[in-house]
Amino acid sequence: MTREALLPLAVLAALAVAPLAGFGGSYELTLLARAMILGMAAVSLSFLVGGAGLVSLGHAASLGVGAYAVAILDAHGVTEALIVLPVAVAAAAGFSLLTGAVAIRTSGVHFIMITLAFGQMAFFTTSSLAAYGGDDGYTLYGRTEVAGTRLLENRLAFHYICLGLLALTWGLCAMLLASRFGRVLRAARENAQRVEAVGLAPYPFRLVGYAIAGALGGLAGVLLANATEFVSPATLSWQRSGELLFMVILGGVGRLWGAILGALAFVLLETWLAEQMQHWKLVFGPLLVLAVLFLKGGLSGLVARRHG
């Protein structure tokens, strides 16, 4: 195993020991959980952007579909994870499959705009769900139960569940990209005509990849709903999709684990600046732009060069 291959394991190990190294308070665990959940969504988006060359500006819709599945089931008294989790993941995968069937027939800026349009459709649909809060959102009665227990209410347990699912998301995406399926995706990203010339149709590979990314986004949505115990249409907004895309770029498009670094940096910097000043967004935006301009290969590229 190369030294660079060990870097993502080092990042996950750092998150594992964080609660034992002075970051075990309620506030710190809540912050890290949010970063890891968004990291999951960012990794699934990085799988699309870096692996398939599909730059989606509607990826937050899958996150929101997963979160709203939790809310809708909660409203009807269904709170068992063995039911909630498969339903939420299947709903997000189904949404991605249906919308992807149309969007993937396009490319470039047209693909970006179609995914944005589908994301906004999902956003306005959830805004109209008066039974589940409408624009005001929906507050869960409690966190999802795990085999009848309130395991997710334990902040330390929730931290390690988020970490485990983040590692699973990264591992699954890395395994897929290293497989024959992933090689076809990468080849189609570089030159779809050559892939067709050897007898392979890029469309079904891209569509399945899009659905997988949506399913993983839905999984992150389940955790996000439980972390905040609140779901609102803002989860599906194009601004959230833009943030996820920025996390991927900040971390480094060519490396899946860079999305984890990008999510951590984004959430921690955002939180720190908000604590320091009232108009923190005036500073936050330019800092992110400078990071993209001067960090070649993103944060993961910087770390890899220093440890290369």
CA nearest to 257, candidates 9, 17, 56, 2: 9
Q: Is the pLDDT of residue 35 over 60?
A: yes
What pLDDT is attached to residue 159? 95
- Cα(262)–Cα(245) distance, integer angstroms: 10
The pLDDT confidence band at residue 3, using thresholds 50, 70 and 90, is: low
Q: Which CB contacts under 8 angstroms, 24+ apart, belong to 163-166?
A: 163/12, 163/15, 163/16, 163/36, 165/40, 165/219, 165/223, 166/12, 166/15, 166/36, 166/37, 166/39, 166/40, 166/43, 166/260
> What percentage of the chain reaches a pLDDT higher than 70?
97
Contact 251, 71 (CB under 8 A): no
Q: Which CATH number characterizes residue 142's domain? A: 1.10.3470
What's the structural domain count of the chain? 1
- Cα(166)–Cα(3) distance, integer angstroms: 21
What pLDDT is attached to residue 58? 93
Query: 1-5, 90-94, 160-164 — which is least confidently predicted?
Result: 1-5
Question: For 198-221, how does the pLDDT look when each residue is reduced to its tens digit (9 = 90+)?
Answer: 888 899 999 999 999 999 999 999
Question: For 73-92, how does the pLDDT look when each residue is reduced to its tens digit (9 = 90+)?
Answer: 999 999 999 999 999 999 99
> What percentage of the chain reaches a pLDDT higher than 90?
68
* Average pLDDT estimate for 40-67: 94
Q: Is the pLDDT of residue 156 over 60?
A: yes
CA nearest to 55, candidates 244, 193, 301, 260: 244
Question: For 162-196, how does the pLDDT look when each residue is reduced to its tens digit (9 = 90+)?
Answer: 999 999 999 999 999 999 999 999 998 888 888 88
- Cα(84)–Cα(91) distance, integer angstroms: 10
Q: Is the pLDDT of residue 301 over 80?
A: no
Residues contacting residue 72 through CB under 8 Å, at least 6 positions apart: 132
CA separation (Å) from 286 to 83, 156, 281, 290? 43, 35, 9, 6
Average pLDDT, the chain: 90
Contact 106, 114 (CB under 8 A): yes
Q: Is the pLDDT of residue 2 over 70?
A: no
The pLDDT confidence band at residue 4, using thresholds 50, 70 and 90, is: low
Domain limits for position 25: 3-306
* Token pair belonging to 23: 């970051």
